[in-house]
A and B are shown apart, each in its own frame.
Chain A
Amino acid sequence: LCAQRKAAVSPYAVEGAHLASSSLAPVVVDAVHRIATDPSRLTERWLGEVVTGGVGEGPFVELVGVVATVVAIDTLARAIGADLSPLPDPESGAPSRVVPAGLALHSAWVPTVVPDQADGEVAAYYRDRVTNPWGFIGNIHRALTMVPGEQFSLCSLMEAMYIPVSRMGGADSPRVISIPQIELLAATVSVANECFY
Chain B
Amino acid sequence: VLLRVSSDAVNLKPDLEAVVTAEPDDGAGVPAGSELRLFARAAIDTTGAGLETARSDLAGCLGGDGLVDAAAVVGFFNAFDRVADATGTVLDTVTHQLTNQMVPGVDLTRAIKAHGT
Q: Among B3, B12, B32, B69, which residue has its beta carbon within 8 angstroms of that of A187? A: B3
Contact mask B78-96 → A, CB, 8 Å, 1/0?
A: 1111111111111110110
Give A137 Cβ to nearest chain B Cβ, in Å: 9
A175: Cβ under 8 A from any B Cβ: yes
Chain B residues proximal to chain A, CB less than 8 Å = 2-3, 5-7, 9-10, 12, 14, 19-20, 24, 28, 30-33, 36-37, 39-41, 43-44, 46, 48, 51-52, 55, 62-63, 65-92, 94-95, 108, 111-112, 115-116
- Are A43 and B116 in contact, CB atoms less than 8 angstroms apart? yes
- Are B87 and A176 in contact, CB atoms less than 8 angstroms apart? no
- Are B72 and A161 in contact, CB atoms less than 8 angstroms apart? yes
Q: Given the known A-B contacts A42-B116, A107-B90, A108-B88, are A157 and B79 also in contact in the complex, defined by CB atoms under 8 Å? A: yes
Give A181 Cβ to nearest chain B Cβ, in Å: 6
- Are A181 and B32 in contact, CB atoms less than 8 angstroms apart? yes
- Are B9 and A78 in contact, CB atoms less than 8 angstroms apart? no
Kindly list chain A residues whose C-beta atoms are within 8 Å of the C-beta of B30. Answer: 180-181, 184
Bound CA span A67–B87, Å: 12
Within 8 A of B (CB), among A36-55: 36, 39-44, 47
Kindly list chain A residues whose C-beta atoms are within 8 Å of the C-beta of B33. Answer: 181, 184
Kindly list chain B residues whose C-beta atoms are within 8 Å of the C-beta of A191. Answer: 19-20
Chain A residues proximal to chain B, CB less than 8 Å = 35-36, 39-44, 47, 61, 64-65, 67-69, 71-81, 107-110, 134, 136, 138-140, 142-144, 154, 157-158, 160-162, 168-171, 175-193, 195-197
Additional A-B contact list (4), CB under 8 Å, known A138-B95, A180-B14: A79-B74, A138-B92, A176-B62, A185-B37
| 13 A–B contacts, CB within 8 A, in A order | A40-B81, A76-B74, A80-B68, A136-B94, A140-B80, A154-B80, A158-B76, A162-B76, A169-B2, A175-B69, A184-B19, A186-B77, A189-B40
Kindly list chain A residues whose C-beta atoms are within 8 Å of the C-beta of B73. Answer: 161-162, 177, 182, 185-186, 189
Kindly list chain B residues whose C-beta atoms are within 8 Å of the C-beta of A107. Answer: 89-90
Bound CA span A73–B44, Å: 12
- Are B71 and A143 in contact, CB atoms less than 8 angstroms apart? no
